[in-house]
Chains A and B, each alone.
Chain A
């Protein structure tokens, strides 16, 4: 079974700072990576996906993938209190198994 590891947090950052969330994965063959944001009591919302090594930017969010080191990170620039949520990292599962393997998530708290 593939594994995805995330620091559970909470990660506390001041408003306006850069929040850095990290995720490591066990299967070197993983090809795609997803970041979901989940507010308390709500369902996960897909915010970023990345397939290639390097960086992918979307607004204040940047996903960074390093396949050699088997980690993917999510940077949130100019963090806002509304970014306070749990961030889930996911990779595709093996064929015949779960479609996505999720980490347990990192809880981010942005302090105003």
Chain B
């Protein structure tokens, strides 16, 4: 069974631009979560989607948004990029996401903002 895929793997953008990242979960998994990872802050939760609905949202500004499609694929968008948005963006999928389901991560998208 194929794992979680994320595209693109690497991105370089300039301040003020916007970016869209894509995530395809493991086949049959209906829940997708997004995390931001930086060296100083560790893994920070962005948002979680299940059946096309955002169930939870982390403490990030409104510039960060996401959505999920009927096939469970998910996208996240960051508008008006700032230098501090440079990070590894990780998508994780799980079967249902009861509290306690295992989450499986994709390879991540490394975003560099210059």
**Alpha-carbon separation in the docked complex, A93 to B100 (Å):** 9
Contact status of A99 and B56, CB under 8 A, knowing A44-B90, A104-B42, A105-B42: yes
User: For B106, what are the chain A residues with a Cβ–Cβ distance below 8 Å?
Assistant: 43
| Interchain CB contact under 8 A, B56 and A46 | no
Count of interface residues, chain A, beta-carbon cutoff 8 Å: 25
Contact status of A99 and B94, CB under 8 A, knowing A32-B100, A43-B88, A93-B99: yes
For chain B, the bracket of interface size reads 20 to 34
**Alpha-carbon separation in the docked complex, A91 to B29 (Å):** 20
B64 within 8 A of A: no
User: For A88, what are the chain B residues with a Cβ–Cβ distance below 8 Å?
Assistant: 43
Could you name 10 residue pairs across A and B whose Cβ atoms are closer than 8 Å?
A31-B100, A44-B43, A44-B90, A45-B105, A46-B103, A46-B104, A98-B45, A99-B56, A103-B42, A104-B42
**Alpha-carbon separation in the docked complex, A36 to B88 (Å):** 16
